[in-house]
Every structure is written in C-alpha cells, then in structure tokens.
Structure 1
Amino acid sequence: HQKPASGYAAALLGIAQSNGSIDPVEKDVQRLLKLLRNKQVQAVLTDPLVGEKQKGLVMIDEVANYKGMFHKHLVSLVKMLVRKNKASLIEEVLEEFERIYDELSGTKVVLVSSAKKMKEDQLSKIAMSVQSLTGAVKVKVRNLVHENSLSYAV
C-alpha cells in the first residue's frame, strides 16, 4: 500500500530525471524543506484555526517570494497540491522525494542526536568518517536536536 506522498514524489523525480534536472530539483527540495521548517511558517502550518486553503496560500506565497529561485517543476507540484487541497502533504512529499533520491543516488543518511545544534564542521567530520568506514559515495548527516537530553561524545 503506497502513500499518496510517494506517488507525488516519484512523479516529481520522474519528470526531473527525464529533463536532466534531477540535481537542481533535489537542491531546491532541500531549500524548500528548510523554508517550510522555519518557525514562523510552521506556526501557521500547524495552527488548527488556519484552514487547508489558507495554509496552501502561505506555501504558495513562500515559493512566490523566492520567484525564480525554485525549479519550475517543484513550483508546479506545490501549486497543484494546493489546488487539490492537499497542502498538508507538501512537506511529506518533499521528504519522500529526498528519501527516493538518496536511495537512487546511493547516498547514506546518518542521523545524529544531540542536546544542542551541532556546528557544520562537526557534521562534516561525521560525514567524512562514515564515508571512509562505509565507502559510501555521498553521505548526508541530519542533526536531530533534543534540547532536554544529555549529549555524549562517542
């Protein structure tokens, strides 16, 4: 049983592959995910008093504010999902796109949990260590911050 997000993500991946724009689309997916995870945007998107249509308009506004900065296929997908009243799926679709892209490109994803946000150089060192240990071509390190937990060095 496939999730709707998987279908939309696979469609975006397919069109990007057929146009030879997979890497630029993937970079834009990362940027849009980061934008959607902004505290102010999240406050609107998770507010139960804000309707699905308004949430969709917020997403379109966010994409429009960066006009020309997001790939046209990604913008089309966001607009289509909003038109279909599926704005709540956008973040899940983007995450699924990332998962499929990582799988296809042989990218290893490492989750690092810490009590506070780690610095880029720390994350880079972890990525290089994982790369040398596993032989992976590409490694992405995601820092999961749990502010109330203890942090241990390994």
Structure 2
Amino acid sequence: MPVNVVAPYLLTALLPGPRRTVYLSSSPHLSGHPSLAAGVNWQGASAGSYADSELFVTTLAAAVARLRPEVLSNAVDPGRVPTRMGGPDAPDDLELGPRTQERLAVSNEPEARTTGGYWYHRRSEQPHPAVHDEAFQDRLLRALAEETGVALD
C-alpha cells in the first residue's frame, strides 16, 4: 500500500499542476475489493492485498481525472513482463510495456489526450466497475487524506 497507493497519492496531492499523470496499475486490480470498511493498512506492516492496492491506484487515476479536469490522468497496465516480480517466463514484452506510459505522458495525438482511462498496450481497456464509482473514489480519497494529513484539492 505505501508504494502502490500512498506514494502516488502524495505526489499527486503535493506537486503543482496542471500536468499529465500516468499511474502504474495491473490487471490484478480486476479482482480487488472496493472496500475500505475493514480498515486498510496504509503503512505496509502487513502484506495486504496486491489486487486491492492496484484497484485503489487505478481508482485514484480516475478520481484525479474527475476532480482535476485540467490534468490528463490515466492508469496503465504494462503487462506481466520478465522482471523479478513478473518472473523470467512472463509472457509480455518488456519493451512494449513502457510505450503506453510514454505515449500518455507526452504525445499530443488525440487518443493520448484522453483522461480517466485504464490502458494496456496502447489500448483503452475496461477497468473494474468500482474505478468509476464516484462514491468509492471519494471514500478512498478521504481515507488517504486522513492517513497522510494531506488533502487532494
């Protein structure tokens, strides 16, 4: 949670805008649970759910797109690439993964100037239904503001 959610939240809240934001997510967000009721260990003292953390950061991207219309904000799934985490037999191309992030960060092509999307290999994909649930977005942002003492304005 500290790396996948809290750090991107703080960077977003503290850096001046307008700008483009590209959040790193992954397909496991699809099996994440859109619940904060049981309490989330934002400090990382326990492993927590990787899928939940990916759902939260994908939701953060959508919330920023909604609340800061001047910011192009998207989440990107680089695929399962051959890294220490993905393993040496990971099926995705290590070179293809960052191309989507780069395109969303700097391209002026109309498709790259969208906001609030979830992307995989230069294609917009359908995220978990909770990602665009404004009530869940607001609950997540309140929980992160309470945890960090920094509000996302």
TM bracket (short chain) = under 0.3
**More helix by proportion, 1 or 2?**
1
TM-score, scaled to structure 1: 0.26
The one of the two structures with greater contact order (alpha-carbon pairs below 8 A, sep at least 6) is 2
TM-score, scaled to structure 2: 0.26
